[in-house]
Amino acid sequence: MGTAKPDIHRTDNRLERADRDVVVLGIAIAACLLFVGIGGSAISQIVRSWLGYGGSPDQLLVSAMLLNIALILFGWRRYRELAQEVDERRRAETQARELAQTDPLTGCLNRRSISTIMAKMAEEASQQGREIAVLLFDLDKFKLVNDLNGHKAGDRLLVEVAQRVSAIIPGDARLARLGGDEFCCFRAFDPSNPEDVDRTAANILGTVGKPIRLYGTIAEVTASIGIARTHKGLPFSDEQLIHEADIAMYHAKNTGRDRYSWFDRSMESELRVRSELETGMRRGIKEGEFTPYYQQQIDLDTGELVGFEMLARWHSPQLGEISPEIFIPIAEEIGVIAELSEELIQLALQDAKDWDPALILSVNISPVQLRDPWFAQKLLRMLVEAGFPPERLEIEITESCLHEDINMVRSMITSLKNQGIQVSLDDFGTGYSCLAQLRSLPFDRLKIDRSFVTELAEDENNLKLVEAIVSLGNELNLPITAEGIESEKVLQLLRRIGKMKGQGFLYGMPQDARTTQELLASRNLIVSDASKAGEVRTSPTVKASDHKIVG
């Protein structure tokens, strides 16, 4: 981009107009002086002539007076125009200054303006023995509101949030929108009473968390708040304060959202680790560091091996072994979960196509993929490329997905089932679904959340809950899978409750593709080339007790 050049013609026009204004002003002043000098004589002659006491007035004198009056009127009119122009320019400058300082959507301060305002507030607070607190917050899952309802609804949500927060923050506090769904509230407070800032943060969480009506639908969002403060004796820096509040906000998000957190130095190291994980994850996806592992699924009644669930594992040369509980939420947040999942599904389909045809491959999908209208078509393409039968694939959808757009979920499940793919509801029992949803959604199976199964023998309430879920599944004609079987005692309890599939460390730890292939080969559960060509063979029954590994 080139350097902006001044408008020479516009500048010349302003100079010419200013010169004319000076000349007009001089003429008007001269006309006023001349009118004072001759006006008395001319008016006296005219009045005597009208009353019949004298002759005709001096025409030259009258003409001069009329010319003076015309010049005075012309000067007055020009003065009014000048005054009007000055007022308009002043209003335009005020409006431009306001536009430069405020966010056009919400009316809050914008990022450019807060530096000066915050510095002035800090100076005044310092003189009064007070400090400045910065509360940085954004809306949890705001992108989901945009995706489901459109950007118009998203803008309406931001306006409503800004109005609500402006109404409840203290009178001396200021609210700014930094961009997107990120806001910054800064205020002075008494350093001996930081609880006052806590109350402000709690009030913001409370008002943001109330339902918001958006064009016929109700949106429920929460906020995560990070708080940073100035310290007496340390130099003031608005950029440093916002940076520290930003770190604290991400800490609040990582610890559950819908909460606030004060900045602490230890958070910087956490953020550094988080940044390393994000960078390593993007690199790892490209370099194939993520691999599928397989956990056995057993028919509890017969002990027969009936399939495997594919689980993601990350072996990073730089970071070591990273737990899925750590990297999967990060992958969802930074937008790489779909790419990661599709890559692992492709590898799993290649591994599983050589398994015995009776074995089912179960694969979890992210809520992000469930919102992708093209996911079913992408999955069909992967099945065709791998030559894997759709009826041997089971897609697991977490129960939390039912808390989103139920029509979207129904459409996706129907699309998958139309291709012959089985669909199960994972983590059932965590409290999101209802009987009406189970009845209306065409699931093929329920998977009981492992938190209820693991401590089944120690908690009678869990036992009753599992019995109720199995009974519900029988009534709805939905087979059951129990996750988290880790002891013989739990296994025996589940067998007494009813028929179901099960998986857990009792049957061995999840294994990589090679180990799984060796296990199946030892049980004669690998399809030979002749079988692929069309030979029919009977698959032997494999008992879980034949290869039990307690883990």
pLDDT, tens digit, 9 for 90 and up, residues 281-305: 999 999 999 999 999 999 999 999 9
Nearest C-alpha neighbor of 18 from the set 97, 99, 86 = 86
Q: Which residues contact 447 (CB under 8 A, 6 or more apart)?
A: 396, 424, 425, 426, 427, 428, 480, 481, 482, 483
Report whether pLDDT(551) > 50.
no
- pTM equals 0.65
SS3 361: strand
pLDDT level of residue 144 (50, 70, 90 thresholds): confident
Mean model confidence pLDDT for the chain: 83
The stretch 197-213 carries a mean pLDDT of 95
C-alpha distance from residue 131 to each of 157, 166, 230, 281 (Å): 32, 21, 6, 40
pLDDT tens per residue across span 146-175: 877 888 889 999 999 999 999 999 999 999
**Higher per-residue pLDDT: 542 or 370:** 370
pLDDT tens per residue across span 124-140: 999 999 999 999 999 99
Report whether pLDDT(106) > 80.
yes
The stretch 7-31 carries a mean pLDDT of 55
SS3 182: strand
**Higher per-residue pLDDT: 522 or 20:** 522
In degrees to the nearest 10, what's the CA dihedral of 385, 390, 396, 401?
80
User: Would you say 457 and 493 are in contact if contact means Cβ atoms under 8 Å apart?
Assistant: yes
Top mean-pLDDT range of 1-5, 293-297, 367-371: 293-297
Q: Look up residue 64 and give its amino acid.
A: A
